Amino acid sequence: MFTLDRAFEVCPELRPLCEFDNKKAEQLKLIIDSGFGGAFERYLSGAEVGVLGRFLDECSRLEFGRIVRHREALKNHCERKLNLEDVEPMRRDGTQTDNSFADAELGWKALRDGRLAAVVFAGGAATRFQKEIGLLDEALPIKNEALARNGFAYGEPKGCFPISPVIGMSFIQMIIAEVLERSVRAGRLAPVLFMVSDVTEDRTAEHLSGEMYGFPRWALIPFIQNMFPRLDADGELIVQPDGSLLLTGSGHGGIYAALEAAEGGTLLERLKKWGVTDIVMGNVDNALLSPLHAGRVGFHVRNGAGMTISVTERAAANEKVGIAVRMRESGKWEVVEYSVMDEEMAAMRAEDGSLLFNAGNINTLAVAIDSIRSDIPEILYTDKMVKVNGRDIASSTSEMMSHALCTLLEPEKVKLYYVDRDELFLPTKNMIGVDSVEHTFNVLVSQALDRLIKLGAEVEGGSAEPKVWAELPPFLGLTLEQIASRGLASGWKLAAGSRLYLGARYSSSGGDRPYSEKLTLEEGAQLIIDAKMPYGRMKIDEVTRIVEADVATASKAGIGPDVTISRGVRLYVSIESGRVFEISAGKRITESMDIVVGPDEKVSL
């Protein structure tokens, strides 16, 4: 057993440090009494006083009861495969299809009534992106505007990566833009909360401090998740040479405790005072997150669910996603890791040929605020190799999963909502290949081109294997009918190699139709209209959150009929608040231009 005398023996500077500072002496005693004194011998032998002081200070912020549970779980770890005697497969609820229209109406009503907020898991650093970014340069014919102008700096959070294919909206901006469009259409602003880590906190807050298309800063709310220490294979705290602990996030299941603790314990109360009854949360790197998707929200509300788990049909038996099941013994819902399910069982097929266990968790969850609990079960993850002072060390973490709340709820309060792939689920984990930036770009472009084609555009190469890159932001509308009302895309012709982004929502005259028929982009042509304030400086009541666009201060455009952008010509237009850009009917643009429509300006071509 590691003793106080042994600590003073291996770390001589500890004695004077603790004699001088009673709080550090008490912390040292707690570390040793909790059984974690071995870290002094393993990682801190002979350390100087500053290193030891930092170690003791960091330990003072730890919850040792939780770390003891982590160590016990590591000691007793034995992974057992589940079989058919343990779990029951779950299938699509027939009422989801039967009530899809009514659910969508109910979802819009919940938004109009101010019942909804979005919560985004944004604690991840873009470490893998940083390592692989050179691969993206090789895979793409051309960078989006944000990557071409600014690149992606080392240390940026993943949520700040410019993921939209033409203009380069970040993951965070895409989520905000989609929530904003729904909020303006509903007339009630839904707040968006971001759970960040100590790694992403500062830069995410800085990112959110921008104009964000007019979304008010007070309704964009970052809050920090708890950080927990890694343990080595023997259950010791891992200490770095400077005395700092090797920490990791609590897992996205830490969301509930973090919400309860945020703003000194008042954040949940603020949401309740706003009338928020339900939150929808998901991963920042899901480029199709759409947290306030009306059909899903309406399904959740209609069922009076405490938690609604969004799932998609698993594509393959070995797909690396959690699987929603019901435990036969308890009757409770769980989302189990694919790795703990018997391989033969995971590959079993239902009568219709689909996988029997087909409910793949996409980690987008609708949760009633009254169902929130922070006593979420912990899950042990082992054998993650980390490098400390030049040594490779096998580490373990004890994390919580947000979906684990379902194990604490009565089964009838948990529902599954099935989504189609490439509708609400587009995970982006790598630069190229499966679940990658490359794939996300291609899917988003294909979806935009498919919409343009359905609205009457002629697109060279079609949408399946794009030869044209287009992006239609949420500002133009959420449905084909809404987008068509903006003037898209009758008689348009988009040639191979062309690029299109249209961000203006209002016309130069203040109407809803800024675009016209028979727009032509010849081979390699680019038309990018970047509306900085698509809704203007919106009128928002901070108490009721009633919101209304302000057309007078919106960034406006007017593209007349029969406009042509000539072969290889690039027209990039940035329109500030309240400013106007126009291209007259029949105009052919033959020279490349970068135009900023600034204060007191109206630019016409």
Position 139 scores a pLDDT of 80
pLDDT given for residue 383 in this prediction? 85
Query: Does position 403 have pLDDT exceeding 80, yes or no?
Result: yes
Quick one: pLDDT band at residue 321, thresholds 50, 70, 90? Answer: confident
Residue 320, pLDDT > 90, answer: no
CA atoms within 13 A on the CB side of 233: 7
First to last CA, the chain: 82
The Cα-based distances of 136 to 144, 151, 163 in angstroms read: 11, 12, 12
With a cut of 90, say whether residue 287 has pLDDT above it. Answer: yes
- What was the pLDDT predicted at 140? 80
C-alpha angle 500-449-180 in degrees, rounded to nearest 5: 70
* pLDDT recorded at residue 298: 98
When pLDDT is averaged across residues 564-583 and rounded to a whole number, the result is 97
Query: Cβ neighbours of residue 373 under 8 Å, at least 6 residues apart?
Result: 256, 405, 408
Tell me: pLDDT of 130 over 80.
Answer: no
Which has the higher per-residue pLDDT, 134 or 176?
Answer: 176
Question: Given pLDDT bands bounded at 50, 70 and 90, which one contains residue 346?
Answer: confident
Mean pLDDT, the chain, whole residue set: 93
pLDDT in tens, 551-568: 999 999 999 999 999 999
* Strand blocks (E) in 269-352: 278-283, 307-313, 323-327, 333-336
pLDDT band at residue 584, thresholds of 50, 70 and 90?
very high
Q: How far is residue 186's CA from residue 138's CA, in Å, rounded to a whole number?
A: 43
Domains in the chain and their CATH numbers? 4-61 (no CATH), 87-418 (3.90.550.10), 437-604 (no CATH)
Assess contact for 323 and 335: CB atoms under 8 A: yes
SS3 content of the chain, % helix, strand, coil (to 5): 35, 25, 40
Q: Which two tokens stand for residue 483?
A: 């987008």
Q: Tell me, what amino acid is at 406?
A: C
φ, ψ dihedrals at 588, nearest 5°: -110, 120
pLDDT confidence band for 340 (50 / 70 / 90): confident
Residue 207: strand pairing partners: none
Q: Are 278 and 301 in contact (CB under 8 A)?
A: yes
At 316, the pLDDT band (50, 70, 90 cuts) reads confident
**Cα–Cα nearest to 547, from 179, 4, 199, 58:** 179
- DSSP per residue, 55-69: HHHHHTT--HHHHHH
Q: Which two tokens stand for residue 141?
A: 């014919």
Beta carbons within 10 angstroms of residue 312's beta carbon: 22
| pLDDT-derived band at 447, boundaries 50, 70, 90 | very high
Per-residue pLDDT tens over the stretch 498-509: 999 999 999 999
Q: What is the pLDDT, as a whole number, of residue 452?
A: 98
Task: Answer whether residue 177 shows pLDDT above 80.
Answer: yes
> Of the ranges 40-54, 139-153, 219-233, 517-531, which one carries the lowest mean pLDDT score?
139-153
Beta bridge partners of 170: 162
Say yes or no to pLDDT of 428 above 90: yes
pTM for the full predicted model: 0.93
What is the tens place of the pLDDT at every residue in 532-546? 999 999 999 999 999
DSSP state letter for 340: G
* Among the ranges given (332-346, 444-458, 577-591), the one the predictor scored with the smallest mean pLDDT: 332-346
Whether the bond into 489 is cis, omega within 30 of 0: yes
- Reduced to 3 states (helix: H, G, I; strand: E, B; else coil), residue 524 is coil
**What is the percent of the chain where pLDDT is above 90?**
80
> What is the per-residue burial (b if ≥16 Cβ within 10 Å, else e) of 569-582?
bbbbbbbbbbbbbb
**What pLDDT, on the 0 to 100 scale, is given for residue 141?**
73
Predicted local confidence at residue 95, as pLDDT: 87
